[in-house]
Amino acid sequence: MNIVILANRDLASNYALNLLLPQLSKHSVSLFLSAKVGGNSSKPPELVSLKFFEQTLFNELLSPLFEQLPSHKGFMSFAQMNRILVQPVEALNVINSPHGLAKISALQPELILSIRYGSILKQEILSLPRLGVLNLHSGLLPDYRGVMATFWAMLHGQNKIGTTLHFIDDASIDTGQIVAQSHLEVEPDKSYLWHVLQLYVEGIALLSEAVSTLALGKSLSLTKQIGGQYFSFPDSQDLTKFKDQGLSLVNEDELTTFIHQHYC
C-alpha cells in the first residue's frame, strides 16, 4: 500500500515512528512533519521548558550527534529515516493549503496515518485515501480530547491513561469512530513525559495491527464516540496544581535513561 504518515517533529513522534516503520516494511511509506501542535499563543514557562526537552534537545542537539556516528545502532533520527522511506522526510505545516494538498495527492495514498500531527485535517485531505485516515491519540477518548491528554488525566487523578486509535472522519478534533484503545497504569512518581513515551509501545502495536488488517482487505471493528470533553494547553494555574500534587512534567534522569536505552 501507499501510506502517508503525518507526525510532529518531537521526541515522542520519533520514538513512535521507530517502533512503527519496521512494521511497514512491505509498504511504500512517505513521512511529513509539522513543527508544533496548536496555535501561536504564548505559553507558560513550564511549557516552554517542556518544548525544549521534547523538541529542541532532540532535534538540534542529540540528532546531529547520532547522525555523525558511523556505527550508530540506536533508533533513527528523522533524517536517518530517509533510507527506508520512498522519499526524503518533508516539513509540512500547511497541509490544507493548495501546496499541501498537491503534495499529498501526488503520492496517491491509500491510507494516511496521523501521530501527533500539529494541524487539523480538512475534508480535501481526508477524502484522498480510499481507506481513510487513522489517528493515534495519546489519550482515552472520548473523555480526553485535544492536546496533552495525559497531563489532564494525571491532573484529574486518573489511575489509568492510554491511547486511542480512531478514524478522522471530519475536521472536528478527536471525535471519529474508535478502532481500539491501550491502557497504562499511572505511576505518580514518574513524569508526564515519561508516561507519554511509554504509551506508544502499546499504541503503535494497535496501529500496526490495524494497518495489517486493512492491507488484507478486511474491515476494522468500530465504536462510535458518545459524549466527552475537549482540553487545550494548561495555563499557569493548571500547571501549579499539577506541581502541588507532587507531579512533574519532565525528569531529566528519566529522559537520560530513555535516550541511552533507545538511541545510543
| DSSP code of residue 223 | B
Angle CA(210)–CA(23)–CA(123) in degrees, nearest 5? 50
* Alpha-carbon span 182 to 234, nearest angstrom: 24
* Alpha-carbon span 238 to 233, nearest angstrom: 9
At residue 39, the pLDDT reads 54
Q: Retrieve residue 84's grid coordinates.
A: 527506508
At residue 38, the pLDDT reads 57
Class of domain 2-262: alpha beta
| DSSP code of residue 132 | -
Q: For 194-235, how does the pLDDT look when each residue is reduced to its tens digit (9 = 90+)?
A: 999 999 999 999 999 999 999 999 999 999 999 999 999 999
At residue 226, the pLDDT reads 95
Q: For 167-177, how does the pLDDT look when each residue is reduced to its tens digit (9 = 90+)?
A: 999 999 999 99
What element of type H or E holds 184?
strand 178-185
DSSP characters over 18-77: HHHGGGGTTSEEEEEEES-SS-S----HHHHHHHIIIIIIIIIIIHHHHHH-TT--SPPP
At residue 71, the pLDDT reads 84
At residue 85, the pLDDT reads 98
> Which parts of the chain register pLDDT below 70?
37-41
Report the amino acid identity of residue 202: E
Q: Retrieve residue 125's grid coordinates.
A: 485531505
pTM as predicted = 0.96
* Domain coordinates in residue numbering, the chain: 2-262
At residue 72, the pLDDT reads 83
At residue 131, the pLDDT reads 98
* Alpha-carbon span 226 to 240, nearest angstrom: 31
At residue 36, the pLDDT reads 72
